[in-house]
Amino acid sequence: MRDHTPPHTLAGTRVLITGAAGGIGSAAARLCSGLGAQLILTDLHITPELSQLASTLPGVHALQACDVTQRSDVESLVQAQPEIHALIDTAGICPYDDDWLAPDWNEAAFQKVMQVNVLGPLNWARALLPGMIDRQYGRMAFCGSVAGWMGGVRAGPHYAASKGGVHALVRWLAQRGTPHNVMVNGVAPGVIDTGMTAGHGYQPQTQPLKRLGQADEIAHVLTFLISPGASFLAGAMVDANGGILMR
Catalytic residues: 159
CA distances from 59 to 54, 240, 244 (A): 9, 28, 36
The DSSP bridge pattern shows strands 14-18 and 182-189 to be unpaired
b/e map 171-203, b = 16+ CB within 10 Å: eebbeebeeebbbbbbbbbbbbbbebbeeeebe
CA distances from 14 to 29, 55, 76, 86 (A): 12, 17, 17, 6
Cβ-based neighbours of 85, under 8 Å, separated by 6 or more: 13, 14, 15, 132, 137, 138, 139
Report the interhelical angle of 157-177 vs 120-135 (nearest 10°): 10
Residue-wise DSSP of 203-227: -GGGSTTSS-B-HHHHHHHHHHHTS
